[in-house]
Chain A
Amino acid sequence: MNEKEKLEIIAESVEMETEELSKEMVLEDLENWDSVAVLTIIAAISDRLGRYPSAQDILAFRTVGDLMNYMD
């Protein structure tokens, strides 16, 4: 996945536009960073990468950039 695709997945999960997000942003500070957002991220990673991360795996990341690195 390229940077743009990763950012689109995260933006979609928190119902934001990609332009509103940057790598330094802290996930917990995003208005819609909730359980549904986490489950949406898990679903997207499963669909695209065939990996099944747990909610704990996702919740362990601090920033948007940390999460993007995980999506390789």
Chain B
Amino acid sequence: MRVPVSWLREYIELDQPVTQLAHLLTIAGLEVTGIEDTGSGWDRVFVGMVERIERVPEADRLVLATVNYGADSLTVVTGAPNIAEGQKVALALEGAVLVDAYADTPRKRKLKATKIKGIRSQGMVCSERELGLSSEHEGILVLDGDATVGAPLATALGDHILTFDLPNNLAYANSVVGLAREIAAITGVVCRERSVPILAATGAATMATVEGKHLAARYLLQRLDNLVIRPSSPYIQQRLQASGVRSINNVVDATNYVMLEYGQPLHGFDRDASEGDVVVRASHTGEVFETLDHQRRPMPPGTVMIADAARAIGIGGIMGGLNSEVTEATTSILLESATFDPIRIRRSARAMGLRTEASARFERGMDPELAPVALARAVELLVQEADAVPVGAPYDWYPEPIRQRAIELPYAEVKRLLGVEVAPDEMECILRSLEFDVVSQPDRLLVTPPSYRQDVTLAADLVEEIGRIHGYDEIPATLPSGALPVQRSDEAALLERRAREWLVAAGLREVINYDLTSVAALEPFRALPAGAGPAFWQPVNQLIKVRNPLTTEREYLRPSLLPGVLQNLRDNLRHQEAVWLFELDRVFVRQGDGLPLEPRRLAVALAGLRRPSSPHLADGETNLYDLKGVVDGLLAALRVHTYALVADNERPASLGVEIGGRCAGFASALDAELLARLDIDRPVVAAELDWEIILGAATRATTFAAYSRYPAVRQDVAILTQDSVPAAAVEQVIVRYGGRNLRGWRLREVYRGAPLPEGMKSLLYGLEFQSDDRTLTEAEGTKGRRAIERGLREQLGAEIRGSDQP
């Protein structure tokens, strides 16, 4: 909402600078988001009076005007069609800086004296556009007759325009009068009351039938005859324009003016459009209605329609009908001031996609007591502006006048909620300044809000009023006192954090993706295994779809993290040599009709160089063993004791991750076809694990195990075996035959190629033998190694290099 300060001044004395006023309002909850200073750039622009107009020879459109600006008169050549003798106008002298009305992009220029058709033009009479007031440039700006000739234009027309962003509950303040009331309470200055002429009390000239109070709490209708439709007075036009409302004609302008001034939306119907009594009814099934904006609209069920016996003439509280529009030919109107049902207005406006200034106001609830006041004010304006003659009294349907109930406010309640002591006197004073009716009792106040404060129903509401007027700056910062609540630790969050930190230490970067994805992004994953482990792809009809997605890119709740992480990987490979990513977050699984399950997953995707290239190291391309190392290391770090990474016999270069015998995910090198579909041209290894299973199996604390203080004996064993024998089989034999002193083994080297025969490989294991109670001899180590060598020969047919071979 834009509000000219000059308009506010009609209702309240303002002494403080406008920035101070804006600050006070903002702190009290009426946020001022902008202060515009119109007239700040009007140096050398004055109020002038057009004394004489002469034609310019050989130029039909131009006139020579003599303009007096107090000190002197000068002559200007102008093409303004609306210039007339006796007008007060904005006269710019040489050196004034004005908006260039003919430039395509906004820019300013300095006025110089020129010669037009050989006639010297010493200044300029300005349009609104040239003054930066609006885009209007059809003619010059005509000032109000009261303006003082010779005064700087800024004193006549300069103003501050405040822009407000009002919260929903302060709808009552959404007007000049409403704001003036708020300012009165905040600054302690009393508002000026405007006395509005009282309309005739009896003898309504117009009748209406309102179907019920479910449509409108109050409905007033005043007949006005003898109207002359013409542009409004300059002051009305200027105020509307400053408030961001376009001036249309005196009748429409008067209703808009009153809406801005009092907050009550009004509507004028051309009386020729209706026959007989007005009917306020709910829309008929299938009813179609053409609104003022030339749109034929189907009326949602339950819409409030303003009609006569034959047809509708407007949508109550939202928009008038084209058939009853006030035009230049209009001479008589029905002026409506009503309190429509907020929920009904809201539903219809939403269903139609037609939110108007009026509907926005009705939605938030209007004060029925305001309707006759605003009507009277509009009648007053129309009498002045359009020569209107009110006929009879207004029709007034108000079956159940509102009664505000008194609210009990114990004094202690203010301190209990705000944490600051406010004296009972001050509470009372604040509430009275807000026009609340207050009765004080020994320990409490009985407070009745004014009719326009239907938002105030509880003691807490009153505490808010006291708090914001007393000033939130006065509230101290204190830490909560009293017994500390039990602080509960969240094991799951802790473990999640440990996992993330471990992965970061292992060189992976965390990504966070949108929960919403598209069918197109999921489709390539159709081929991934969906069986025992977490499902990475689900048929579209099992996904959870958002009804009103912003784009088709984000339409379905993701069933897997992998599509997002792989997309991040692809995008980053364009400019990064190493891309190691993980995401640990929720996926969504449909669960009957209830809320979906939101299990967490961990996705890892690695590609590119293992580490950034360095002159000291050979470049290494990330491979499956990097991924295996990450998964292995993480599960061990989380002390998941029951996990195993097992070869997936169905797919090459793939591992199943089992925890406690259950499939908890996979880790694999992605196949070429999937990579091609994802538009990735480098090898990628990726894993997705069911975090909930990991969470269930992770153990928090580990128990200290005493380590041996005696030195270990280390021996190597190198074996030659069939290429097809998996390392896991070799290790099983090592464990089985190693004896009780075998403490560890580590595969140090795998070798294939010359001079080894085709189809064979060499594996070099380092063995470690150690005892807890003594130093082992080299011979004991050798004995252990020999036992292992025997086992390898017997179980796997392996040759022991160095002893079985020459």
A binds B: no
Footprint of A on B, CB under 8 Å? none
